[in-house]
Structure 1
Amino acid sequence: MPPIRLTATVLALLLAGTALPALAQNPGTPWVTDAREAAVALPRAQPLIPEPEDKPYPGVIQYRADVTDLERRIISVHQTVPVSAGPMTLLYPRFLPGNHAGTGPIQLIAGLTVIGGGERIEWLRDTIDPYAFHLDIPVGVSEIVVDFQWLTQPDSSQWRVVMTPAIVNMEWEKAILYPAGYFANQIQVAASIRLPEGWNYGTALTTTTFTDGVATFEPSDLYTLVDSPMFAGAHFRRIDIDPTGNSVHLNIVADSTENIAPTADQLALYENLVTQADRLFGARHFDHYEFLVGLTRQLGGIGLEHHRSSENTMSPEFFTDWSASAGDRGLLPHEYVHSWNGKFRRPADELTANYNVPSQNTLLWVYEGQTEYWGDVLAARSGLATRDVAVANLAAIAGFYDAQPGRQWRALHDTNNHNLLGYRVPGQYPSWMRATGDYYRESALIWLDADTLIREGTRDRKSLDDFARAFFGVDDGVFTPRGYTFQELVEALNAVYPHDWAGFLRDRLDAVGPDARAPLDGITRAGWQLTWVDSLTPVEKSVQGGWTRDFQYSLGFTLSATSNRLANIRWDGPAFRLGIGEGWELVAVNGTAADAGVLRDAVTAAKGTETRIELLLKSGDRYRTVAFDYRDGLRYPRLVRIEGTRDRLAEIYAPRRR
């Protein structure tokens, strides 16, 4: 190994570490409140991270990844970066597109070395931003070689699994360093990747060669590279599902070949999806679109949008046990809609210069919420979801938010901002905390409300379809992202149907307090109403997959999927009022060894009687017996028709003929 070269700047940075205790011991040193101010106050040469500028980075970064170390789950990266002499900062992506938070897994990056002119150049991590690495490039060095490893995880306890014996999900933004001081779309990268022998892959990138397991791609800007992940695997199939040409494809990888078995009828439904999206938006903002689909329980679960592709995982039996997949068929329609809403058009505060400029989430209820709405609608219009499935799914959403107590203290809009703390960070008592996913599903109720309001106000001559076509379907063939603001959204809605849209939206986004209610007016205006039942139809069971262990609307908790552990304790529900918190395990029900079926039978038997439901609970070495005075039976949400009203849900879910 070449000797380590300590340049003057780096040496000064290393030696300056002794100045910190001196500052604490000197009573004459004034307090400073800003971290950068503190750095300037110390006798140290703290480099500043250059702000991104909209100018081309000189030269092309050569990038090579090797994903063949499947047993040890190590992805090795080799980059050659054109440079000039002087200070330089390399960045690891922090704010990942679609995560809406600073979630870049830099904790998994190791072995970072930088070589220039045949000698090692020492780097120093920034003392404030751990995603930045400072270098001092010696005179005469015109390129540096950067090597490191992404130590991917064997399970999804902290970070999702991206490598299995049969599948690799290559997400470039998690295995790249790039120069600070430039917009992402001004940095050119020539990427290649080595795959295990015999593997194939899907990606939106353009392949120039694929020889001896090495795929080489046309040079692209960093933005396009990051926006074009790869699913690669030993069992792979690419299928054209574009009725108008060869532009939209399913790229399927699976744990075994027999799972890659979509039938002609199933593929016809995905062709319908493409057709119905074309009829909704009236334009495409991609030259080709690649659904990356992993049929696996070994790869970490994902549904992530990109402009010309999406990453999606489902169960291995998704196609071979089609009836059981009814509740999962909305994933691909949702991610496909993101090509229009979230990628081509996206909230202006999410159009950041690069991946280390913080994004803001003020309009996630549009980015994700309206996408959730259109994803469900397109699933129904294409036939991927029957009308009964679509209605059952809507009932589950309406029931959840109708019973949610968290809006007493926290408005829906705050879940957008809270997401910056971490992508979908879980918390105790989710019904009280409110989940960051509320900007998906509750916001979808708001857009149903808007759709039915337009339909009612225009005597059903116009709908939210008209807004989607005018707002997202402009400029067919244009790829360049465009931002939108709240005011532009309001103006576009007013162009379809004049109304106080700003007030309409703010009332629903900002509603908080004991009188705040879930936005269910759209369901009523569509000719339906929410009711509660004690048993489910087969269709409802297929949608509410965990129904056998779901007692949240009766006793006020659920049983975890793999044990009798109590979870999702509903705030101020029956269990909560008995002093039960998270972490207890159900041992017995009325003196009988517990399982979900025994508990369901006990709740049903107590309905309308004076019988109490007695549960024996265990937490560590503690046991406790509690008695529920609950006699209303099992409760599940259902939508029923309002007699004599127009069925606007049927009209919304009906396929468009043009």
Structure 2
Amino acid sequence: MPLPFRRFLPSPIPAACALALLGTLALPASAAVPAPRDLPYPGTIVLKVDATNVGQQIFRIRATIPAAPGPLTLLYPQWVPGNHGPSGPLNQLAGLRLSADGKPLAWTRDPVQVHAFHLTVPEGATAVEAEYQFLSPVEPAQGRITMTSEILGVQWQAMTLYPAGYFSRRIPVQASLKLPDGWQYGTALETAARRGNDISFKPLDLETLIDSPVFAGRHFRRIDLDPGAAVPVHLNIVADNPESLEAKPEQIAAHRALVKEAAKLFASHHYKHYDFLFALSDEFGGIGREHHQSSENGVKPGYFTDWAKSEAGRDLLPHEYTHSWNGKFRRPADQDVPNFNVPLQNSLLWVYEGQTQYWGNVLAARSGLVSAAGIRDTIAAYAARYDRVQGRAWRTLQDTVNDPIVQARRALGWSNWQRSEDYYVEGMLIWLDVDTRIRELSGEQRSLDDFARVFYGVDNGSVGPAYYQFDDVVRTLASVQAFDWAPFLRAKLDSNAAGAPLDGLARAGWKLVYTDTPTEIIKGQEERNKMTDFSYSLGFSVKHDGAIDGIEWDGVGFRAGLSGNSTIVAVNNRAYKPEVLKAAVKAARDGKSPLNLLVRKGSNFRTVALDYQGGLRYPRLERIPGSKDRLDTILQPRR
């Protein structure tokens, strides 16, 4: 470098000054946010949400927050229950203006806890007025769409500012909602009054409010799923069009059977009433999120009208309903946090979500929402996928409970190696192992159903919550069936051994096999996701436009050098179509036919030769000759 340019470079820092600077920077940053205290908040927050601007997808919020003169910190919820991580949509909060007695108040964001806003309440003031907007995403790249021209969902954590320094369950809130003309709504909240489009809800604490979302829509239907029951359950449906609301009597009967089967399983209820919030839409964001007395569920419009093809997704409602018992009434002790800005801990998500995944599939079959064959095919797909997870060599299943925080549910480039939230499905396979082990050890006299009645059936009618730890799970299992459960579970959770935990499947009388024909479940998944699954042959799937997805680490495609962001243009010099690649995979079984892909990545093209002669492979379950079919027994309705 020529000498004159040196004057543009920063001067060297003397060593002593550098050490001093490093010492300064090493001091931990701290947030000036008052710690939550278990004291009643003095006053009631009045929260008003105007949801009428569906054209621009903007929620407008006004809040009156009682406050004494002096410093005040307002919090925007960061840790969202059910999402298991810090997913509060702070980036969609906009236009924040604060005032007292009609005069503007300045605010500053905390530089460490950016969900906190500091201000000073002037002398003589008794409340702070807050005005702001929640900007629902207008396209999926911005986040989940919560408002369309036909449907909206009010998630109160996205609408709420609350005072720091108090437990959220000690903060009273009076919430109201303004809807577009003619719209109807469903929620677990109790309505105090409705005047035209304005709905006022009965006052309640902030924790319960945030646990009680609202679905509203232009096209709405409410179905009583337990007619005449003292503790009612309703299915509240919103849809893009009125045709999607048309459910046949036998379809409704299956949903009513779900309520009956859950009552038999858990021998209790822990809600005053329960409301499924169910959206059928191509535009409103898909969702499955649990709440204590309701759940948010969003799927494509053909759920009822294309019933034969929607079986693969019909375990959603049983899963979220199970959470009323598991995750909301019985909760892991490390999720007992005082407010929505104190971090959650997820050590027991393999119970919270893993056992719920298990019961969701079992209840789907027992109710008739999904056929027993459909559940078997689902388990086959799960078993095959998790049997090939290469990332278990370096990450235990227990460590994946941190993924909602680590990954924040973002897309992964190498999910088979990185691992994701495997505690759901691999957890389900562990609970199948537990169930079949109890059945075998007890001579078929007891099962995991007995655990459910004991563990979730306590304090029938109580809304709870009732917290538990690992030892409580082990103790309850031992009360059902004597066995050394703690080391058994820890071995499953902490292992780096290859292969999924399939002992329970074998004990259930079934084994995982591969054939050249996809099951109906896989066909349905391919159709819904607009992709073709070559995961168990070539080690990747392909979207309909040829884009390569889900590459298995160290699989056939991986070893050939394929990666994401690549598109198959041609197969053996023929333009890519799913059937062309399938035919080439079949032909390659003779060991002589080529399997060459022309692949584009960015502006570069190259030919990739795949070394594979195994033909098409799709997972399914096959009976183990001479074994007891415990899986069939598990999936049968309770009498």
TM-score, with structure 2 as normaliser = 0.95
Contact 1:557–1:570 at 8 Å: present in 2 too? Answer: yes
What are the superposed Cα offsets for residues 250-304 of structure 1, whole Å, 9 maximum, x if unpaired?
0000001111011111010011000000000000000110000000010111000
1:431 to 401, 406, 416: 416
What are the superposed Cα offsets for residues 414-468 of structure 1, whole Å, 9 maximum, x if unpaired?
11023212432322111111122x1101100000000000000000100000001
Change (3 A) 1:384 1:364: same
Contact 1:541–1:547 at 8 Å: present in 2 too? Answer: no
> Counterpart of 2:577?
595
Q: Which amino acid aligns with 1:201?
A: Y
> Counterpart of 1:563?
545
Structure 1, 291-300 or 532-541: larger mean CA deviation: 532-541
> Counterpart of 1:167?
151
Change (3 A) 1:321 1:139: same
Structure 1, 127-136 or 423-432: larger mean CA deviation: 423-432
> Counterpart of 1:554?
537
1:470 to 441, 444, 454: 454
Q: Which amino acid aligns with 2:467?
A: G
Change (3 A) 1:150 1:407: same
Contact 2:226–2:259 at 8 Å: present in 1 too? Answer: yes
**Aligned: 1:204 with 2:188:** yes
Q: Which amino acid aligns with 2:99?
A: I
Contact 2:388–2:499 at 8 Å: present in 1 too? Answer: no
Whole-angstrom distance in 2 between the partners of 1:122 and 1:208: 35
Change (3 A) 1:527 1:189: same
- 1:498 positional shift: 1.3
> Counterpart of 2:12?
none
Equivalent runs, 1:437-516 vs 2, <5 Å: 438-512=422-496, 515-516=497-498
SS of residue in 2 equivalent to 1:380 = helix
Whole-angstrom distance in 2 between the partners of 1:334 and 1:644: 33
Whole-angstrom distance in 2 between the partners of 1:38 and 1:273: 51
Change (3 A) 1:170 1:539: closer
**Aligned: 1:368 with 2:353:** yes
Whole-angstrom distance in 1 between the partners of 2:411 and 2:280: 26
Whole-angstrom distance in 2 between the partners of 1:430 and 1:182: 40
- 1:608 positional shift: 3.2
> Counterpart of 1:409?
394
Equivalent runs, 1:260-279 vs 2, <5 Å: 260-279=245-264
Q: Which amino acid aligns with 2:592?
A: E
Contact 1:243–1:275 at 8 Å: present in 2 too? Answer: no
1:221 to 195, 198, 205: 205
Q: Which amino acid aligns with 1:655?
A: P
Count of equivalent residues: 622
2:508 to 514, 526, 532: 526
Contact 2:526–2:533 at 8 Å: present in 1 too? Answer: no
Equivalent runs, 1:83-98 vs 2, <5 Å: 83-98=67-82
Q: Which amino acid aligns with 2:574?
A: T
> Counterpart of 1:619?
601
- 1:601 positional shift: 1.2
**Aligned: 1:150 with 2:134:** yes
What are the superposed Cα offsets for residues 586-606 of structure 1, whole Å, 9 maximum, x if unpaired?
001111111111111111122
- 1:543 positional shift: 5.7
SS of residue in 2 equivalent to 1:569 = coil
- 1:542 positional shift: 3.4
> Counterpart of 2:635?
653
What are the superposed Cα offsets for residues 554-589 of structure 1, whole Å, 9 maximum, x if unpaired?
1111112x5211111111111111111111110011
Whole-angstrom distance in 2 between the partners of 1:422 and 1:581: 20
Q: Which amino acid aligns with 2:39?
A: K
> Counterpart of 2:9?
none
Contact 1:32–1:38 at 8 Å: present in 2 too? Answer: no
Whole-angstrom distance in 2 between the partners of 1:428 and 1:244: 51
1:301 to 275, 286, 289: 286
What are the superposed Cα offsets for residues 463-516 of structure 1, whole Å, 9 maximum, x if unpaired?
00000110011111100211110111111111111111111111111111xx43
Change (3 A) 1:460 1:427: same
Once the two structures are aligned, what percentage of the paired residues are identical? 47
> Counterpart of 1:237?
221
Whole-angstrom distance in 2 between the partners of 1:584 and 1:544: 19
Whole-angstrom distance in 2 between the partners of 1:161 and 1:576: 35
Q: Which amino acid aligns with 2:217?
A: G
What are the superposed Cα offsets for residues 579-638 of structure 1, whole Å, 9 maximum, x if unpaired?
111111100111111111111111112223421211111112211011222111011111
- 1:108 positional shift: 1.0
RMSD of aligned residue pairs (Cα, Å)? 1.7
Structure 1, 576-585 or 159-168: larger mean CA deviation: 576-585
Equivalent runs, 1:117-132 vs 2, <5 Å: 117-132=101-116
Q: Which amino acid aligns with 2:23?
A: W
Whole-angstrom distance in 2 between the partners of 1:406 and 1:56: 47
Whole-angstrom distance in 1 between the partners of 2:470 and 2:548: 41
Whole-angstrom distance in 2 between the partners of 1:162 and 1:28: 50
> Counterpart of 1:580?
562
Whole-angstrom distance in 1 between the partners of 2:526 and 2:168: 42
Whole-angstrom distance in 1 between the partners of 2:535 and 2:522: 16
**Aligned: 1:112 with 2:104:** no
What are the superposed Cα offsets for residues 186-210 of structure 1, whole Å, 9 maximum, x if unpaired?
0000000110011010000000111
- 1:402 positional shift: 1.2
SS of residue in 1 equivalent to 2:141 = coil
Q: Which amino acid aligns with 1:307?
A: H
